[in-house]
C-alpha cells in the first residue's frame, strides 16, 4: 500500500501515522501557546507537522531497511529502525521549537502576564510550566493512548465479531467493514430448529413473526425457545456478587482483628489462611466434588458461593490487612475514649478510611469469582452453572458459531467493566491521607 517499499504491514503503517499526527497535534500547540499564538494555530500546524513526521518516519524506515541484514534478524532490524527513526523525529520536533516566532504584542492572545521563560517543572498554572515539560507530557499521553488502542484491538475485534453474520465472521481476509446483524446475539440467546425448504416457505407466509424470527429465518432456522445463556449469566451474577460481598465482609472483620488485636500465633494463622490459595483449583476439584456430592452441594448456588467465598477470603484478608495496618490506631482509640464501642468506632472511623482497600478487594474478588472456570466446570451441571463453562458449549454442533461466542464473551465482559469502572475512583490510592503528624 501507499506505493512505498516499507517492511511493515498496512495496519502498522496506519497506526504509526496516527501516532505521529497525535504527537504533532499535542506538542505543537504547547509551543505555539507559549510563544503567544492562539492554540488553534498550534493544532493546525501540529497536524501538518504530524503528517510530515509520519512521512519522514516511513522514509527513514525504508532507508534503514539494510539494518535488518546487519543485525541478521528481520524482526529485530525493523524494531531497531523504528526506535532510531522515532528518536530522530522527536529530536527534530524539539528543534522545531526554536523556529516558532514570538507573537507580536498586539497578537498575543492567551499568555497571561507572560509566564517565566526559564524552566519551571511544576505549577498549577498551565502558562507557567516550561513548554518542553508540557510537550513531554503530551508525548507521554500520546504513547499511553496508542498503547491502550493497541491492547483494545482484540476487544474491539470481539465486539465487531459479535455483530457479524455467520459468513462475515469467518471471512478471509477478515472484514473490517461489514453489515451488522444481531444473528450472533439471537443464536446465543435462543434455541433453534433447522427448517426444511417447505417449512421455510410456510414460515414466510406467517404474519406474526418478530424481527428476530425473521433474522433467523434467513438462515433457515426457527426459534423454539430461550437458550440457557441468560440463566447462566444470571447464575454468574448471583454467585459472583454474593461471594464477593461475603468474602469482603468476612475478610474486613478478620483483617481488622489481625491488625489490631494481639492474636496468639498470628503469623502462622495468616500463613495458613494464605496456604489455602496455594493449590491450583484443578488439583482440589476432585476432592471437593466428592465432598459436595455427599453434602448435597453439587450444582447449587450455595455450594458455589461457599467455595468462591472461601477461596477469595485468604486473598481479601491479606489485602485488607495491609490497608488497615496503614490506618493509625489513634483514630479508633480516640473514638473509644470519646465514648464509642469498638464496633461503632470500626464503623464510623475505620470503614470510611478503608474504602480504597475495600474497593480494590471487591474488584479483585469479583473478577476472580466471575472468571472462574475449573471449579464451575466440575461442580455445576445445569442449575447453578455459571457463564464461563457455558460459553464453550455454544460452540455447538454444525460449525463453530463465532458470532455467538463473541456475543457471549461481550455480555460476559460487561459486568466486570461496570464494577471496575464504578469503583475506579477509590482505586486511586492516597487521596485521603489523614490528619496525623508524627510527634
Partner 1 sequence: MSNVALEHITKRFKDVTALDDVSFSITHGEFFVLLGPTGAGKTTTLRVIAGLEKQDHGDVIFDGVNVNKYTPADRDVAFVFQQYSLYPTRTVYENLAFPLQSPLRKWPKERIDQRVKEVAEKIHIAHLLHRKTANLSGGEMQRVALGRALVRSPRLFLMDEPLSNLDAKLREALRIELQHLQKTEGSTTLFVTHDQIEALTMADRIAVLNQGRIVQIGTPYDIYDRPATTFVAQLVGIPRINLLPAVRENGLLNVERSTIRLPLPTDRTIPQRFLLGIRPEDVRLAPDGDLRGEVALTEPLGVETVIHIRSGQQTLLSIAPGITDLKIGDVIAYSIVRERLHFFDLDGVRL
Question: How many residues in the shown chain lie near partner 1 by CB under 8 A?
Answer: 24
How far CA 394 is from CA of 212, 217, 224, 284, 375, in Å, comes to 19, 20, 16, 27, 19
Residue from 147, 155, 274, 436 that binds partner 1 (CB under 8 A)?
436
Phi and psi dihedrals of 221, rounded to 5?
Answer: -125, 150
Question: Contacts with partner 1 in 144-163 (CB under 8 A)?
Answer: none
Q: By CB under 8 A, is residue 165 in contact with partner 1?
A: no
Nearer to partner 1 by Cβ, of 100 and 345: the residue is 345
CB atoms under 10 Å from CB of 433, counted, come to: 9
Q: State the minimum distance, in angstroms, from the CB of residue 431 to partner 1.
A: 10
Kindly tell me the sign of the dihedral angle through the C-alpha atoms of 412, 413, 417, 420. positive
Q: By CB under 8 A, is residue 114 in contact with partner 1?
A: no
Q: How far apart are CA 314 and CA 161, in angstroms?
A: 38
Nearer to partner 1 by Cβ, of 226 and 341: the residue is 341
Residue from 70, 81, 89, 86 nearest 6 by CA: 81
Q: By CB under 8 A, is residue 433 in contact with partner 1?
A: yes
Q: By CB under 8 A, is residue 438 in contact with partner 1?
A: yes
Contact predicate 173/208, CB 8 Å: no
Tell me 97's DSSP state. G
Q: By CB under 8 A, is residue 384 in contact with partner 1?
A: no
Q: By CB under 8 A, is residue 374 in contact with partner 1?
A: no
Contact predicate 77/69, CB 8 Å: yes
Nearer to partner 1 by Cβ, of 143 and 436: the residue is 436
Q: How far apart are CA 101 and CA 37, in angstroms?
A: 9
Tell me 276's DSSP state. T
Q: By CB under 8 A, is residue 353 in contact with partner 1?
A: yes
Nearer to partner 1 by Cβ, of 172 and 438: the residue is 438
Q: By CB under 8 A, is residue 340 in contact with partner 1?
A: yes
Residue from 245, 336, 351, 413 that binds partner 1 (CB under 8 A)?
336
Q: By CB under 8 A, is residue 173 in contact with partner 1?
A: no
Q: By CB under 8 A, is residue 393 in contact with partner 1?
A: no
Q: State the minimum distance, in angstroms, from the CB of residue 432 to partner 1.
A: 5
Q: By CB under 8 A, is residue 268 in contact with partner 1?
A: no
Q: State the minimum distance, in angstroms, from the CB of residue 435 to partner 1.
A: 4
Segment interacting with partner 1, rule: CB under 8 A, options 219-227, 271-279, 386-394, 431-439: 431-439
Asked, as a colleague might, if the bond just before 173 is cis with ω within 30 of 0, I would say yes
Residue 256, exposed/middle/buried by CB under 10 A (0-12, 13-18, 19+)?
Answer: buried
Question: Contacts with partner 1 in 290-329 (CB under 8 A)?
Answer: 328
- As beta bridge partners, residue 147 has none
Contact predicate 401/168, CB 8 Å: no
Alpha helices in 206-265 (DSSP H): 211-218, 229-260
Q: State the minimum distance, in angstroms, from the CB of residue 257 to partner 1.
A: 17
Q: How far apart are the first and last CA of the chain?
A: 69
Strands 221-226 and 190-194: antiparallel
Q: By CB under 8 A, is residue 425 in contact with partner 1?
A: no
Q: How far apart are CA 140 and CA 360, in angstroms?
A: 26
Phi and psi dihedrals of 338, rounded to 5?
Answer: -75, 0
Q: By CB under 8 A, is residue 331 in contact with partner 1?
A: yes
Nearer to partner 1 by Cβ, of 3 and 265: the residue is 265
Kindly tell me the sign of the dihedral angle through the C-alpha atoms of 120, 126, 127, 130. positive
Segment interacting with partner 1, rule: CB under 8 A, options 106-114, 186-194, 210-218, 428-436: 428-436
Q: By CB under 8 A, is residue 333 in contact with partner 1?
A: yes
Residue from 100, 255, 320, 335 that binds partner 1 (CB under 8 A)?
335
> Residues for the chain: how many in total?
439
Q: By CB under 8 A, is residue 337 in contact with partner 1?
A: yes
Q: State the minimum distance, in angstroms, from the CB of residue 327 to partner 1.
A: 9
Backbone torsion region of residue 299, taken as left when φ is above 0, otherwise alpha when ψ lies between -120 and 50, otherwise beta:
left
- Which DSSP string corresponds to 96-112? HGGGSPPPPGGG--S-S
Q: By CB under 8 A, is residue 206 in contact with partner 1?
A: no
Q: State the minimum distance, in angstroms, from the CB of residue 358 to partner 1.
A: 15
Q: By CB under 8 A, is residue 435 in contact with partner 1?
A: yes
For 81, half-sphere exposure in the C-beta direction (CA atoms, 13 angstrom radius) is: 25
Nearer to partner 1 by Cβ, of 9 and 328: the residue is 328
Nearer to partner 1 by Cβ, of 95 and 433: the residue is 433
Binding mask 73-112 for partner 1 (x = CB under 8 A): ----------------------------------------
Residue numbers of the site for partner 1 (CB under 8 A)?
A: 328, 330-331, 333-341, 344, 349, 352-353, 432-439
Amino acid at each position: 500500500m501507499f506505493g512505498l517499499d516499507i517492511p511493515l504491514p498496512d495496519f502498522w503503517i496506519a497506526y504509526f501515522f496516527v501516532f505521529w499526527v497525535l504527537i504533532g497535534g499535542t506538542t505543537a500547540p504547547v509551543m505555539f501557546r507559549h510563544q503567544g499564538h492562539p492554540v488553534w494555530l498550534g493544532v493546525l500546524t501540529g497536524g501538518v507537522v504530524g503528517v510530515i513526521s509520519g512521512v519522514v518516519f516511513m522514509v527513514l524506515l525504508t532507508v534503514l531497511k539494510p539494518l535488518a541484514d546487519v543485525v541478521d534478524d528481520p524482526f529485530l532490524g525493523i524494531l531497531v529502525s523504528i526506535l532510531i527513526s522515532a528518536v530522530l523525529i522527536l529530536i527534530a520536533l524539539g528543534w522545531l521549537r526554536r523556529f516558532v516566532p514570538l507573537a507580536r504584542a498586539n497578537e498575543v492572545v492567551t499568555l497571561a502576564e507572560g509566564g517565566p521563560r526559564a524552566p519551571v517543572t511544576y505549577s498549577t498554572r498551565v502558562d507557567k510550566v516550561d513548554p518542553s515539560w508540557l510537550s513531554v507530557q503530551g508525548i507521554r499521553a500520546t504513547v499511553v493512548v496508542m498503547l491502550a488502542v493497541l491492547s483494545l484491538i482484540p476487544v474491539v475485534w470481539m465486539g465487531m465479531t459479535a455483530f457479524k453474520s455467520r459468513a462475515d465472521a469467518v471471512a478471509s481476509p477478515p472484514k473490517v467493514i461489514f453489515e451488522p446483524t444481531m444473528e450472533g446475539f439471537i443464536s446465543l440467546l435462543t434455541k433453534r430448529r433447522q427448517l426444511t425448504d417447505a417449512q421455510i416457505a410456510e414460515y414466510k407466509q406467517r404474519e406474526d413473526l418478530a424481527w428476530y424470527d425473521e433474522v433467523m429465518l434467513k438462515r433457515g432456522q426457527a426459534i423454539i425457545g430461550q437458550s440457557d445463556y441468560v440463566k447462566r449469566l444470571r447464575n454468574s451474577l448471583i454467585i459472583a456478587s454474593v461471594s464477593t460481598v461475603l468474602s469482603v465482609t468476612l475478610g474486613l472483620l478478620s483483617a481488622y482483628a489481625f491488625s489490631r488485636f494481639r492474636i496468639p500465633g498470628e503469623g502462622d494463622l495468616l500463613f495458613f489462611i494464605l496456604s489455602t490459595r496455594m493449590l491450583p483449583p484443578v488439583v482440589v476439584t476432585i476432592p471437593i466434588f466428592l465432598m459436595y456430592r455427599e453434602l448435597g452441594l453439587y450444582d447449587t448456588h450455595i455450594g458455589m458461593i461457599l467455595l468462591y467465598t472461601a477461596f477469595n477470603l485468604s486473598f481479601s484478608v491479606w489485602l485488607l490487612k495491609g490497608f488497615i495496618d496503614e490506618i493509625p490506631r489513634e483514630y479508633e482509640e480516640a473514638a473509644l475514649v470519646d465514648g464509642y464501642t469498638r464496633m461503632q468506632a470500626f464503623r464510623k472511623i475505620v470503614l470510611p478510611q478503608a474504602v480504597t482497600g475495600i474497593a480494590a478487594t471487591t474488584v479483585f474478588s469479583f473478577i476472580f469469582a466471575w472468571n472462574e472456570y475449573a471449579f464451575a466446570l466440575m461442580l455445576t451441571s445445569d442449575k447453578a452453572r455459571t457463564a464461563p463453562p457455558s460459553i464453550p458449549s455454544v460452540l455447538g454442533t454444525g460449525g463453530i458459531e463465532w458470532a455467538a461466542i463473541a456475543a457471549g464473551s461481550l455480555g460476559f465482559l460487561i459486568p466486570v467493566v461496570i464494577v471496575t469502572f464504578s469503583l475506579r475512583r477509590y482505586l486511586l490510592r492516597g487521596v485521603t491521607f489523614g490528619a496525623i503528624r508524627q510527634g
